[in-house]
Amino acid sequence: MGTVDRSARDEILARIRAVRPDEPVSVPREYRTGPVAGGTVGEPGEAEAAALDGELIELLVDRLVDYRATVRRCAPQDVPGALAELLGEVPTVVVPPGAPVRWLSAYLGRIRRDGDPEPLTVADLDAPGVAVVTGCAVAIAQTGTLLLDGAPDQGRRLLSLVPDHHLCVVRAGQVVGGVPEALARLADPTRPTTLVSGPSATSDIELDRVEGVHGPRRLDVLVVTD
């Protein structure tokens, strides 16, 4: 197959070279790439930035609620209590290898850490009554989006996919305004990355949104602010 492959490649590239447009294209980028508050665009000063952070969090919460995610806010010292409350009667919680131990210090059920000692199997994750708690890399206020990039507190992609209940911890400093800032914050764009905006949903029946198909049907977001 190697030779066939090569000839197809060379032929396609030669064809494109023969017909492509010869004018170079300059790309305008007049869209918003920086902080935004109340629809205005600009670089905020220090005082504005603090106010803006508060607004961003309000916006993020509003968007997440719009997607029918459950949202709680708490101070850093209250994370264990808030998570335990959100988990309620859930018998088993899965966490990625690098999730802080104190997150689940108030939770009384069974805790399984991926890779400790063995990686969890799909069957482990698919068992009834399993929830997963992860962090995130960055969150987008305007679209209510959580970005997971496989860092140690987020783990492998299947951890936040197979269990039916996903809890995500978002720190205030991780919240940005729009998509451009969020992508620019990713440490390494070649890591497997997932953007999550609300629980799994479909618009396939009469183009109306219905929550809950293959991904987690319940998404809880804990926003940690000072």
Residue number with CB closer to other proteins (53 or 164): 164
Structure tokens, 152: 């140690």
Ordered DSSP codes for 13-33 = HHHHHHHS--S-------S--
Q: Please state, in angstroms and rounded to a whole number, the distance separating the CA atoms of residues 97 and 31.
A: 39
Site for other proteins, residues 163 to 192, rule: CB under 8 A: 178-180, 183-184, 189-192
Structure tokens, 46: 């220090």
Q: What are the φ and ψ backbone dihedral angles of 102, each rounded to 5 degrees?
A: -70, -20
Judged by CB under 8 A, does residue 3 bind other proteins? no
Q: Which residues pair with 134 in a beta bridge?
A: 168
State the minimum distance, in angstroms, from the CB of residue 50 to other proteins: 23
Taking contact as CB under 8 A, which single stretch among the options 45-53, 86-94, 167-175, 197-205 is the one that binds other proteins? 197-205
Residue type, 139: A
Site for other proteins, residues 96 to 135, rule: CB under 8 A: 119, 122-123, 126
Site for other proteins, residues 11 to 70, rule: CB under 8 A: 11-13, 15-17, 19-33, 39, 41, 63, 67
Structure tokens, 90: 């859930």
Judged by CB under 8 A, does residue 208 bind other proteins? yes
Residue number with CB closer to other proteins (73 or 157): 157
